[in-house]
Structures are given as structure tokens and as C-alpha cells.
Amino acid sequence: MDAIILQILNGLDKGSAYALIALGLTLIFGTLGVVNFAHGALFMIGAFCAVTLSRILTLSHTVIDETQKDFLGNPLKVDVPYIYDIFGQATGDVIIDWAVPLSILFAIPVMVGIGFAMERGLIKHFYKRPHADQILVTFGLAIVLQEIIKYFYGANPIPTPAPDAFRGSFDFGAMLGFDPNTIIYPYWRLVYFAFAAVIIGAVFAFLQFTTFGMVVRAGMADRETVGLLGINIDKRFTIMFGIAAAVAGLAGVMYTPINSPNYHMGMDFLVLSFVVVVVGGMGSLSGAVLAGFLLGILESFASMAIVLETLPGINQIIIYLVAIIILLTRPRGLMGRKGVMEE
Amino acid sequence: MGLTKKDFTLLIIVAILCVFAPFILNPFPEGSAMAQFNAGYPDLMQRLVIFGIFAIGFNILFGLTGYLSFGHAAFLGVGSYAAIWMMKLLTMNVIPAIVISVLVAGLFSLLVGWISLRRSGIYFSILTLAFAQMSYALAYSVLTPITGGETGLQPKYTDPRILDGALEPGQTPRANLFGLDMKQSFELTMGDWVFTFNAGYYVAAVIMLVAFYLSIRIFRSPFGMMLRAVKSNQQRLNYTGLNSKPYTLAAFVISGMYAGLAGGLLVAMDTQVGAERMFWTASGEVVLMTILGGAGTLIGPVLGAGFIKYFENIVSKINKSILEQWFAFMPDGIEDLLITLVYPFIGKGWHLTLGILFMLVVIFLPGGLVEGGQRVGRLFKRKKPADDKPDGKTTPAE
């Protein structure tokens, strides 16, 4: 029992990332009808927003500290972050420590801006072109974005730790009444899951309970009629693209402490996220979220030692295997609607 | 040969280009500043034609039927593994290795195609991608006894090789064609120029020509027409009472066999395999080649493959000091500015250049380099109606 709970928990964080990226992909696909292969790159850029902010916060200037001496008795040169000058040392340390959560605030405008620029500058011209063209041009864009990041940040992963308070793990099993030390779970993964749940809830609430969301949903169902009613649906769809980009970016920001960001992390997640979207059903938001968590958890179950003994290597291929089976038995995916991307 | 005059001319042009490639690709004298643009060395020339084969095969599927497969590297990889096992078990002669690589890749693509072709559009792309990623993951982990896992496979001294005689101690197993070593080269020195004629390259080039000839025949056959019909409107084709599945499946298997052939040849030229050959970026690369050259045209994929492989090798070799040499004649400030501007796009930044180029092609030239050539050709035609075609490469292939 405890092993099962542990695997479910382990699957949650990856599942959260899949669900968030797949949610964004589905938003873009459902509104604009565009297959966005650059979505993984947006996830990656989000992660590098966190890296950038923590670098900005630790920007330092060198001062000579008279109180500290090196072994020759000369005053020591010390790097002092500018943030100390503004907020003082104690507050400055806290701010630097909380760089990753703070990056959320930094990432939202950046990602929405990138999303707008992408939609207006490139994707707009591809609405009328075949899906293959959309795939190809966004694939090219993904390469370009990831090479730009590689140029500025290098090819190595950049460790970006979580705030001190959330480092380390806690005994989740003891809280549920199991034996101590059976279910040890890192704090940050729980934070990530909660964060993902909040974001997913917010997106759904936004679509469900606001007038804007209602118009967008109407546009997803029948774009032409909404346009005929005198509503500028293109503008709203552009905003949705920005939101989708921000969702992917935030998923990336919060993922940095779990996995040090590198320039190809987006591509790694993208392939899986597409599988997730297809399993969930093209154009179905709840399907994307459901499939994201489901596949994340399945993946973690497949990497249990007991499973690996009977079916070696299954953890590597389980997601693809499930995707193939689902696509062949339920062609619309788990929750796909009729008439959406039947072909 | 059953070709129209135009196709025959195209085939002859390609043949001539292949035969004289060691001259054409080596236009600069040895030791000159421009020598780094020379591509006439065996390894690169072999790659040019082998990836040409790969792209020709991919084009039979994507160019004709419009099915965008994102998993073709898997067939290339499977072909490579089959070939290397042939070399380990049977003989270092490349013929059985190449034959078996085509057959095994064909069988594998039959299986993948049979399942994937139940769906079309993006679903088909995802299914092929899933199969390729699965093959890659399996080759890396569980199938290590067969694939060598991370280290890959090389022929070893201790392999059985039942058809070959025992090797002398210290002798390394080398790929050959009835005794002709694939690595054997003949160097021709003419003044400052050095031209290399490599046995392996010519073997690969001959196979490429055969593959190209077959692809012309497929393009011009009733079967090819049927595939085009699938691309333009599959639904209507079905309404006429035709089952299009056998046609698309045949196209899929044929293109899988081409990929296997390319994989087998890669092994024949350079006797080693690694699983990274099957990674999905490798599948993406062949898509790039085909689109860049011009999907659905005859010569396009070959051009695209040549273009990408050439620039991958040449541009990625340029480094900062070479740039400094080039711009040395400029005033200092401008020189530095130019170097900073150009530097991100060369050397390790080659992929950035490739990505930008690819986007530009998809946006402005959906027909690829061939369409670009045709446009330029038309431009010249309008000015000088008497002047026919500016050069052989822009011959409309379709």
C-alpha cells in the first residue's frame, strides 16, 4: 500500500509538468487550430526566466571589507550583491533565497510577451496553411529558440535551488499513519503539484466563469459565428496564446529546482507532451490534464523495481505504448470530442 | 530505361555530379585560405550520398502521400544494426550487410506502417514518433545484448564471421566489397589541388544512383499517381471505391527500406552503430532535408541532404580565428562588430543557422530550394526569353 502511494506521489510532479504543458498545447490547438511544436521551448524559456532572475538578483560589485583580513593581513575583497545595498543584508538574503518563486512574477510578463510576439509575428500567417506546415515552422522556431538559449547560457544544466525552507524531504507516510520512513517525499515536489493544481484550476475557472472565457469557449466551438456576432475573436485568441505561453513558462519556472534547466529540456518534454495531448484527446482541456497526470503516474509505476524485473525496460516505453494502444482503440483519445481533428 | 527525356537528363546530370564530385567539391587548392570550404574528403562525400538516399526514401512517403513521419530514423537505425550483425556473424563484405539491412528495415516498417497508417495527419506523426522513441529507448536499455546499449557495436577481432577466413593477429576487420577496402582511397595531385577518390564513396554513389532511378520510376508510375491522389484528397479517392491503405503502406515500406539501405551503407562506410542514430532529432533532420530541398520533387531531397550535410560539416568548422582572418581587411571597430554579429551563427551555432534557414524556407519557399531555383529561373526567362535554364540544378523536377 505504501509503495503504491509512493509511486503515485512520484508520478505527480512529472504528471503536473506534462499536464501543464499539455494544457497550454491544447489551449492553442483548441483556439487557434495550430499545432505548436515550439511549446516545449516555451517551457524551457520559462525555466531560464528563473535562472535569469536569480542571476539578476545576485549581480554583485566588489568592495574592500576592512573587517575581514586574509592571511597576509590585507583587507579582503568581497562580492556584495546590489540587492544588499537596496534592502540590507537580511532581506537581501531572503530575496535571493526565494528567487525561484519570485520568478513567477518575472516570468508572467515575459512569457505573455513572447507568446504575443510569436502569435502576431509568425503563427498568424499559418492559420490557413496545412498542419504539416505549422508543425514544421514551429519545429524550426523551437530549434532557433533553444539555440539562442544555448548561446547565452551554455550547454550545461544550471542548478537553481528551491528556497531553503522547501529543500529536503519529509516523512509523508508517518502523517498518513504508515510506518515511519516508508514514504519520504521532497517538499518542493508537493509545492509543484499544488502550484500546478492552482494554475490548472485558475485556467479552468477563467474559461468557465468569466465573460472573456465564455466568448473564448464559444469561439472554440464555432469561430465564424462568434465573429459574425461582431466580436473580435482573433484578439481574444491572441490573448489565449499569451496565456498558454505563460502556463508553459510557469511550469518551467517551478520545475527548475526539480531538474536543473538545460537548453534541450523543452524538446525532451515536448515529445511526451504531444503524446499526452493525443492520449487526452486533441482539443480537450480536461482530457489533457487527466492524461498528463495519468501518464506521469503510470510512468512512475513502470519504474518500480518489481515491475522492471518482470518487464525490463518498460519504464522507458510505457508512455508510447499506452499512446499507441489508445490511439488505435479510442481514436479520439480519452476525452476527445467528435469532429475535432478527426483526421 | 523507361524514362522521359527530361527525367533521363536529370538522371544523367546527377550521375555526372556523383562521378565528378571529388573534383566539384574540391574547388580550392590545398593549403589556401579557402581550403576549409573543400568537401572532397571521403567521409563527408559518403555522408552526402547516403543521406541523399535517406531523403529520397523519405520523400517517397512525405512528398507523394503527404504523410509526415517523425520516426524514420528508427528504420535507419534498425538497418544499421542488421548490417553490423551481418558483418559480425557472416562476412565483412558489404553486400550481405546492405541486403539484410534493407530487408530488416522493410519488415520493421511493415509492422510500424501497418499500425500507424490506421490514422492520418498529426496522429500519424505522433504514432511514428512514438514507435521511433520506443525503439531508441529499447536499444539504449533492454536490448543492450543486441544493440550494445550506450557503447554501440563495432566488428571485433573475436567475431565468428563464418564466411571470412580467420584474421591474422593484429589485423583489424575492414568492410570490403569482394576484397576492395571501403576505406581505400586514391589521391590525385594536380598542381596545388589534391583530389581524393574513395572506394566507399563510389560504391555508395552507385547505390544512390540506382535508388534515385527507382524513385524516378516510382514517381512516374501509376502507383506514384495513386500516392499523389492520396495526398491531394484521400476522401475522394476512397469514395471512388479504392482502398488507399495498400498504397500508402507500400509507400511507407518502400521509404522504410530506403532508410534501411542508408543505415546499412553508413555501417559499410564506417563500421559502428550507436543508438543515438535513432533519436527523434535524427528523424527531424531528414524532414528538414526533404523540406529544405523541396518535398515532392525528384531532385529536392538530394539537394537538401547535400546542403545540410555540407554546411553541417563546413560551417561548424569555422571558428573565431578564421572569422578574424576574413574580416581582417576591415577597420578595427567594424571588424569586431562583424565578428560579434556573425559568431553566434557559425561553429557550434550551426544549428541556429539551420533553424533560421528552415523557418525561412517553410515561410517563404514551401517548395524548398527547387522552387527557389525555379523562381530564379523564371526571373531570368522573363528578361531573356532565349536563355533557357541558368544551370542544371534548377531543372524543374516535376
Alpha carbon A305 to chain centroid, angstroms: 28
Cell numbers placing B169: 593477429
pLDDT at A341 exceeding the cut of 60: no
Cell numbers placing B155: 566488428
Q: Are B51 and B283 in contact (CB under 8 A)?
A: no
Is B236 part of the contact surface with chain A (CB cutoff 8 Å)?
A: no
Angle at B19 between CA B14 and CA B25, to 5 degrees: 90
Q: What is the CA radius of gyration of chain A?
A: 23
Q: Are B161 and B178 in contact (CB under 8 A)?
A: no
**Nearest CB partner across the interface for B118, out of A323, A328, A343:** A328
Q: Give the H/E segment covering residue B143.
A: none
Q: Do A323 and B366 touch (CB under 8 A)?
A: no
B288 contacts: CB under 8 Å, gap ≥ 6: B304, B308, B354, B358
CB atoms within 10 A of CB A5: 16
At A304 the three-state DSSP class reads: coil
C-alpha A297/C-alpha A285 separation (Å) is 19
C-alpha B171/C-alpha A305 separation (Å) is 44
The per-residue pLDDT for B392 is: 47
**Nearest CB partner across the interface for B141, out of A313, A323, A324:** A313
Q: Are A29 and A240 in contact (CB under 8 A)?
A: no
B310 contacts: CB under 8 Å, gap ≥ 6: B39, B44, B48
Q: Are B355 and A140 in contact (CB under 8 A)?
A: yes
pLDDT per residue of chain B (398 residues) written in tens, 0 to 9:
778 898 999 999 999 998 888 888 888 887 777 777 787 788 888 999 999 999 999 999 999 998 989 889 999 999 999 999 998 888 888 899 999 999 999 999 999 999 899 888 878 888 898 888 888 888 888 888 888 888 888 888 777 887 777 777 777 778 888 878 888 888 888 877 888 888 889 999 999 999 999 999 999 999 999 999 998 888 888 899 989 899 999 999 999 999 999 999 999 888 888 888 888 888 888 998 998 888 889 999 999 999 888 888 888 877 777 777 777 777 778 888 888 887 777 777 788 888 888 888 888 888 888 888 888 888 887 765 544 444 544 444 44
Q: What does the pLDDT average to over A49-78?
A: 81
Q: What does the pLDDT average to over A317-325?
A: 85
Instruction: Report the chain A residue with the minimal C-alpha distance to residue B281.
Output: A267
C-alpha B76/C-alpha B309 separation (Å) is 16
| Residue A150 C-alpha, separation from nearest chain B C-alpha, in angstroms | 9
C-alpha B219/C-alpha B254 separation (Å) is 12
The per-residue pLDDT for A342 is: 52
pLDDT band with cut points at 50, 70 and 90 for residue A116:
very high
pTM, entire model: 0.85
CB atoms within 10 A of CB A333: 26
H helices of chain A, in order, are 2-32, 39-57, 82-87, 89-97, 99-121, 131-153, 172-176, 187-209, 211-221, 223-228, 233-255, 265-280, 285-302, 305-310, 314-329
Alpha carbon distances (Å) from B138 to B71, B135, B194, B363 = 14, 5, 45, 36
The DSSP result for B122-138, as a single string, is HHHHHHHHHHHHHHHHH
Residue of A278, A308, A309, A340 best to disrupt the B interface, most CBs of B under 10 A: A278
Q: Are A80 and A61 in contact (CB under 8 A)?
A: yes
For A127-185, the pLDDT digits (tens) are 888 877 888 888 889 989 988 998 889 888 888 888 888 887 877 777 777 777 777 78
Residue type, B280: W
β partners of residue B189? B194
| Residue A52 C-alpha, separation from nearest chain B C-alpha, in angstroms | 20
pLDDT band with cut points at 50, 70 and 90 for residue A107:
very high
Is B355 part of the contact surface with chain A (CB cutoff 8 Å)?
A: yes
Residue whose cell numbers read 530506403? B258
Q: Do A147 and B349 touch (CB under 8 A)?
A: yes
C-alpha A16/C-alpha A181 separation (Å) is 25
CB atoms within 10 A of CB B193: 17
Question: How many contacts (CB atoms, under 8 Å) link A and B?
Answer: 106
**Backbone region of residue A73 per phi and psi (left: phi > 0; alpha: psi in -120 to 50; beta: other values):** left
pLDDT at A1 exceeding the cut of 80: no
**Nearest CB partner across the interface for A316, out of B123, B141, B284:** B141
C-alpha A9/C-alpha A167 separation (Å) is 17
CB atoms within 10 A of CB B365: 17
Is B289 part of the contact surface with chain A (CB cutoff 8 Å)?
A: no
C-alpha B301/C-alpha B290 separation (Å) is 4
C-alpha A29/C-alpha A23 separation (Å) is 10
Q: Are B75 and B109 in contact (CB under 8 A)?
A: yes
Angle at A189 between CA A187 and CA A193, to 5 degrees: 120
Is B358 part of the contact surface with chain A (CB cutoff 8 Å)?
A: yes
Is B315 part of the contact surface with chain A (CB cutoff 8 Å)?
A: no
The DSSP result for A176-193, as a single string, is HTS-TTSSEEEHHHHHHH
pLDDT band with cut points at 50, 70 and 90 for residue A93:
confident
Q: What does the pLDDT average to over A53-76?
A: 79
The per-residue pLDDT for A91 is: 83
Q: Are A173 and A181 in contact (CB under 8 A)?
A: yes
The per-residue pLDDT for B389 is: 47
**Nearest CB partner across the interface for B126, out of A132, A133, A275:** A275
Q: Do A143 and B352 touch (CB under 8 A)?
A: yes
Using the 8-state DSSP alphabet, how is residue B225 labeled?
H
Q: Are A323 and A278 in contact (CB under 8 A)?
A: yes
H helices of chain B, in order, are 5-19, 21-24, 42-65, 73-89, 94-116, 121-140, 144-147, 199-220, 222-239, 245-269, 280-293, 300-315, 320-326, 332-342, 350-364, 368-383
For A193-248, the pLDDT digits (tens) are 999 999 999 999 999 999 999 998 888 888 889 889 998 988 888 999 999 999 99
For A120-140, the pLDDT digits (tens) are 988 888 888 887 788 888 888
Q: Are B292 and B357 in contact (CB under 8 A)?
A: yes
Q: Are B52 and B306 in contact (CB under 8 A)?
A: yes
Mean per-residue pLDDT over chain A, rounded: 85
